Chains A and B, each alone.
Chain A
Amino acid sequence: QKEVEQDPGPLSVPEGAIVSLNCTYSNSAFQYFMWYRQYSRKGPELLMYTYSSGNKEDGRFTAQVDKSSKYISLFIRDSQPSDSATYLCAMVGNQFYFGTGTSLTVIP
């Protein structure tokens, strides 16, 4: 079983939709959780990080962690074409583990 599972998509949504991106994990020792955004031909950029269960908001983005279910989500409200990218989740225990990334396209 992989440490981190992430649906690769691709996911296409109309502009303005709410997007939900998800990852599941198997290691209960993970302490920190992160989301990265990677545009085509660019390196990943850190979007959000959190270390506790619950929600964390930053503008149109909300990161949610449910440690009891070993499940994390990234919600994007009022999605924009500029949000089109690949989103990777990452988890930190004794080392970093990355999801494979979900490709998102927001259609104008």
Chain B
Amino acid sequence: GAVVSQHPSRVICKSGTSVKIECRSLDFQATTMFWYRQFPKQSLMLMATSNEGSKATYEQGVEKDKFLINHASLTLSTLTVTSAHPEDSSFYICSARGFSTAAQETQYFGPGTRLLVL
């Protein structure tokens, strides 16, 4: 099946610094990528949807100036958490929408990035 990678898998940073997380679709072109956030034992929370070459669409309550999303190519999207604070500590998961081997559109998830802000 299709593969989505994320880097880094884990990051620890000091409060006030910025952190960039990369999401790549490895063997398919993803015109749409999604960024989710997940707190322990809770469900996925969609943060934003990004389409290649255009501005991301943020869900209500998500600060677009704090969570910068860039979808520069059909295989790469980045999420930058600016001026991170301890409450931003979470599990961030990207997802890419593409076509399966059976030519059916589906959505593939990355392995996630665990962010800890001290």
Contact = CB atoms under 8 A, between A and B. Distances in A.
Interface in B80-118: 91, 93, 95, 97, 100, 104-112, 114
Contacts, number: 47
Contact of A41 (B6, B95, B104, B114): B114
B97 A98 contact: no
If over half of B's interface residues share one DSSP class (helix, strand or loop), that class is named, otherwise mixed; here it is strand
B106 A34 contact: yes
Interface residues of A, number: 21
A98 B112 contact: no
12 contacts: A32-B104, A32-B105, A34-B106, A36-B109, A43-B111, A45-B109, A46-B1, A46-B106, A46-B107, A46-B108, A88-B43, A101-B43
Given A41-B112, A43-B111, A92-B105, 18 more contacts: A8-B43, A32-B105, A41-B91, A43-B4, A43-B112, A44-B93, A45-B109, A46-B1, A49-B100, A49-B104, A49-B106, A88-B44, A96-B97, A98-B43, A98-B44, A99-B43, A100-B43, A103-B41
Interface of B: 1, 4, 6, 41, 43-44, 91, 93, 95, 97, 100, 104-112, 114
